[in-house]
Chains A and B, each alone.
Chain A
Amino acid sequence: MASRDYMHRLPDSHFSLSRPASLSRRLHIDVPLLILLLILAGVGLVVLYSAAGADVHYVRRQSVFLVLAFGVMFVAAQIPLDFYRRWSPWLYVGGCCLLVAVLFAGVGAKGAQRWLAVGGFRFQPSEALKLAVPMSVAAFLHGRNLPPSIFTVIGALAIVCVPAALIVRQPDLGTAILIAASGLFALYLAGLSWKLIGGALLALGVSAWPIWEWGLRDYQRQRILTLVNPDADRLGAGWNIFQSKAAIGSGGLLGKGYMQGTQSQLDFLPESHTDFIIAVLSEEWGMRGAMLLLILYVLIIARGIYISFTAQTVFGRLLAGSITLTFFVYVFVNIGMVSGLLPVVGVPLPLVSYGGTSAITLMAGFGILMAIGTERRRVTF
């Protein structure tokens, strides 16, 4: 069926309109993606129940979040792509204004200001930027000749850098990097010249030392040092990594059994129901479980890439590609961090970690992806 779909949606197959639109198409729902996401959310709830120490409270709350998130996805899928494209600058400007507001009036914890509190409701403006930045970059590149000229590149970089810089100031380096990455993905997919990419990577390599010396805060440096040598400070910063590696490793091939993970059930594993939830899954289900989850993610990413391939417009194509690649980066960074490959940055495992904000943002992204995938073909030359 997939290959037939593919044939139908090739850019040249205009005549697919002749086929009567299915229910899913009319509802702007991409069925394979929806099924995959539902499976993922279900797996997430099952793991969460164990990770939270058999506490139904978390599962109930997370279910509410997920229902909300799927609702958001559904709504996002209904909005025409042109609307996103036209309104993305306003979303972007509004988001940046909120980020500025966070710097002055934000609330937060552990020495970082990340939230805005409006009438008892707290939200993180950086979440909105996760969508606004790739959208704006894609919209910015939409009408222009591609591959982008040097001026176009500079403009796109400016769009990326302003919010990223604001988020770095909060400070929230992890989110800033992810948001910048989502914008840069769009730019890369639009055909940013390899020379520029190579030059930028070279510059980054050269500036690594000054950044280490002056650009990072103590706790950030500590996290990277901990990564290199987690045993040095086993009860301090190294504790998380030490325990999560022990959790994953002790799971072995087949795992200790559901709800039987000693690392997580006996509180050795910190943040077991949020950022470190993959360690719980790996401990209790073993490599078998971890690989199945990874395959699930790979299928979702494959579907996203497929949608980006079939997108009708430059905007849709770039945005779909960016959302998909960013999703992969989330997965990779989270799993890499929990398994001790990357420094500990606060990135949740998409749709599995406990938390409403990240689920809603992600599902909004998938809603947009569905909007792209189900866009009516129009000839827009």
Chain B
Amino acid sequence: MPYDLHLKDPLTEQRLFRNRMLVALVGVAVLLGVLVARFYNLQVVNYNSYATQSDQNRIQVRPVPPTRGLIYDRNGTLLADNRPSYTLAVVRERVKDMDATLEFLGRLVQLDDSDVEKFRRRLQHRRPFEPVPLRFRLSEEEIARVSVNEFRLPGVSVEAELVRYYPLGDLFAHSVGYVGRINDRELQRFTAEDVRRYRGTESIGKVGLERSYEDMLLGEVGYENVETNARGRVLRVLERHNPKPGADLTLSLDAQLQKTASDALGDRRGAVVAIDVKTGGVLAFVSKPSFDPNLFVTGISFNDYRALSDSLDVPLFNRALQGQYPPGSTLKPMMGLGGLAEGVITPESTVNDPGFFMLPNDTRRYRDWKRWGHGKHVDLNQAITESCDVYFYDMASRWNIDAMHDIATRFGLGAKTGIDLPAERPGLFPSREWKRGARGLPWFPGDSLNAVLGQGFVLATPLQLAVMTATMANRGTHYKPQVVKAINGVELPPQVLHHVEAKPANWDAIFKGMESVINRGTGRKVGEGLDFQVAGKSGTAQVVGIAQGERYDSEALKERHRDHALFVAFAPADNPQIAVSVLVENGEHGGSVAGPVAREVFLDWMSRKHSETAQGKVKKEGAERG
């Protein structure tokens, strides 16, 4: 180019400028190349990875919790329902300032310190981006207030969920049990499979059937793919896999019978268990005092829980299932049967009862409850009818403890009955072997005398006594007790555990004795005015031991040291349908205190038995449909 026409200075300057600019252009080109490379890297090389990231951002898989199975009694009365409840929930990851958000929410809804404290604890053990509940059971007004302010509350949402509700309140607290929020301990025990199954589910069965049938009641979790924006609001559902609802349970329990039994016990502490003799189905299962299971569903407040746990009456304690009491004289019919079978006694053999019994070579006097005795010629029938202790002392003294242990075991004592309720206690029926192992002592003849009367080491739950009585009523067919009758309408078959073999004549003899108890013995009050025959046996169990030579004086003892009253019975005697055991803590007199409770149960059940057989079919269909 013809630069020579110009003066030197500007030309050099311009050339200098052009050189500099060209160098700069090289820089520009390099940087542009970097940008192009970067976009190539992001958009072509790593396209898949970023596309996935973007989809994960936008599409969230949300679990859809299944509806928990419902629980009905045998007639289709709803015992455990699901009701909608509105929960205030917070997604921690979406909240910028948790304290400010909580403070603001505190002005919209009622939040006390324990809510916030529990919420913070829940926060620590949650999966990322999962809404954590803050307050349950919002009122309509509170929902409205939160909704209006929703735009100011990113990450806060009101979620509708189905929450367990027990319409009959405390009546079935000890059988149906209750669900509660999944706690840390349970969460830690969860397997990977559990974690999956419980996604979106807040509750788990804690006690009772809710716990033992948890797997069936839970159902199968579903899920939905939802598109959300950055604030976690769900914009639309892209795909949904519906959850499978949990199985509905139909129980053997009869709500009306349960109420009758509960009312008959009244304010007294105790338990009533009624069993369908023909199937082992549990018809009534009462432990009193009880409590309202609804308190536990969304988390019980500290004060409510303290009131329940600190009560002297221990309402949370399931007496029918876990209460282990000395069964006392209620064992006598069973012992009599055992004695007959072993040939230790015969229906005709008699014993002289001077009011006490002494073992050979021993000076200790084993007292009869009747101070001057039952007479010189006490036979089996009289011994059962009047609950003669000396007759059984005599029998036990001539009987091998291992045989005694054997018959008790076959009637279900000393081991869990296998009922479909969790945390059952086994009770205890001692044996030579047990005593050596547990106490390190040999078996003394005196131990047999205590055992035959259901005292000493012997412990049984009211449930075990009911099973024993039902087995007796069945002439030896020992059914496993079952609370659940049908799952999703499919009947569970009765389970025979084993059969106690005995001669029919022996059964007759024992039945006769038990009928006499009702007709002219300690259970006279039970049979009054009934148009069917009841067979039963009363029992009284010492709470505190009475020292040798000391006389029992109930007045002097505090109420809680009084004897427990027991009564076991079945009816009708000629064709047994229902077996009942009743325990009244510190009730003192088996026949007159516990007996009438059993009477109410029989009366209610037998009076409805006719109408039920007539309508049974209709009702059963109704329950299956539910």
Docked-complex contact A250 and B44, CB < 8 angstroms: no
Residue of A nearest to B40 (CB): A287
Docked-complex contact B24 and A325, CB < 8 angstroms: yes
Interface positions, chain B 1-54, Cβ under 8 Å from A, are: 1-3, 5-7, 9-10, 12-14, 16-18, 20-21, 24-25, 28, 31-32, 34-36, 38-40, 42-44, 46-47, 49-51, 53-54
Measured CB to CB, the residues of B under 8 A from A are: 1-3, 5-7, 9-10, 12-14, 16-18, 20-21, 24-25, 28, 31-32, 34-36, 38-40, 42-44, 46-47, 49-51, 53-55, 57-58, 93, 227-231, 235
Given A249-B53, A252-B47, residue A332 in contact with residue B17 (CB < 8 A): no
Complexed CA–CA distance, A235 and B91 (Å): 13
Complexed CA–CA distance, A117 and B42 (Å): 42
Measured CB to CB, the residues of A under 8 A from B are: 10-12, 145-147, 185, 188-191, 235, 242-243, 245-253, 262-263, 266-268, 282, 286-287, 290-291, 294, 298, 301, 305, 308-309, 314, 317-318, 321, 325, 328, 332, 335-336, 339-341, 381
Docked-complex contact A262 and B58, CB < 8 angstroms: yes
Docked-complex contact A266 and B58, CB < 8 angstroms: yes
Complexed CA–CA distance, A292 and B38 (Å): 15
Docked-complex contact A252 and B44, CB < 8 angstroms: yes
Complex interface: chain A residues within 8 A of B39 (CB): 248, 282, 287, 290-291, 339
* Given A246-B57, A294-B32; 10 other pairs, CB 8 A cutoff: A12-B3, A145-B9, A235-B93, A248-B43, A250-B51, A250-B55, A253-B47, A282-B42, A290-B43, A336-B35
| Max count, chain B CB within 10 A of own CB: residue among A10, A250, A290 | A250
Give min CB distance, B194 to chain A, whole Å: 28
Docked-complex contact B230 and A190, CB < 8 angstroms: no
Instruction: Choose one: A262, A321, A335; the contact of B57 (CB below 8 Å).
Output: A262
Residue of B nearest to A287 (CB): B43
Give min CB distance, B41 to chain A, whole Å: 9
Docked-complex contact B43 and A251, CB < 8 angstroms: yes
Give min CB distance, B47 to chain A, whole Å: 5
Docked-complex contact A253 and B43, CB < 8 angstroms: yes
Docked-complex contact A245 and B50, CB < 8 angstroms: yes
Complex interface: chain A residues within 8 A of B5 (CB): 12
Residue of B nearest to A269 (CB): B230
Complexed CA–CA distance, A140 and B302 (Å): 80
Give min CB distance, B90 to chain A, whole Å: 15
Given A287-B40, A341-B34, residue A12 in contact with residue B2 (CB < 8 A): yes
Give min CB distance, A325 to chain B, whole Å: 6
Docked-complex contact A189 and B231, CB < 8 angstroms: no
Docked-complex contact B54 and A309, CB < 8 angstroms: no
Give the 10 A-B residue pairs with the shortest CB-CB distance, closest first. A249-B50, A250-B54, A267-B230, A287-B43, A249-B42, A266-B229, A246-B53, A250-B51, A268-B230, A191-B16
Complexed CA–CA distance, A305 and B17 (Å): 11
Residue of A nearest to B47 (CB): A252
Docked-complex contact A262 and B54, CB < 8 angstroms: yes
Instruction: Choose one: A146, A245, A294, A317; the contact of B36 (CB below 8 Å).
Output: A294
Given A191-B20, A249-B53, residue A332 in contact with residue B35 (CB < 8 A): yes
Complex interface: chain B residues within 8 A of A328 (CB): 28, 31
Docked-complex contact A309 and B43, CB < 8 angstroms: no
Docked-complex contact A146 and B35, CB < 8 angstroms: no
Given A11-B6, A250-B54, A252-B51, residue A321 in contact with residue B17 (CB < 8 A): yes
Complex interface: chain A residues within 8 A of B21 (CB): 189, 305, 308-309, 321
Docked-complex contact B47 and A317, CB < 8 angstroms: no
Give min CB distance, B130 to chain A, whole Å: 15
Residue of B nearest to A262 (CB): B58
Complexed CA–CA distance, A268 and B13 (Å): 52
Complex interface: chain B residues within 8 A of A325 (CB): 24, 28
Give min CB distance, B567 to chain A, whole Å: 67
Given A268-B229, A294-B36, residue A314 in contact with residue B13 (CB < 8 A): yes
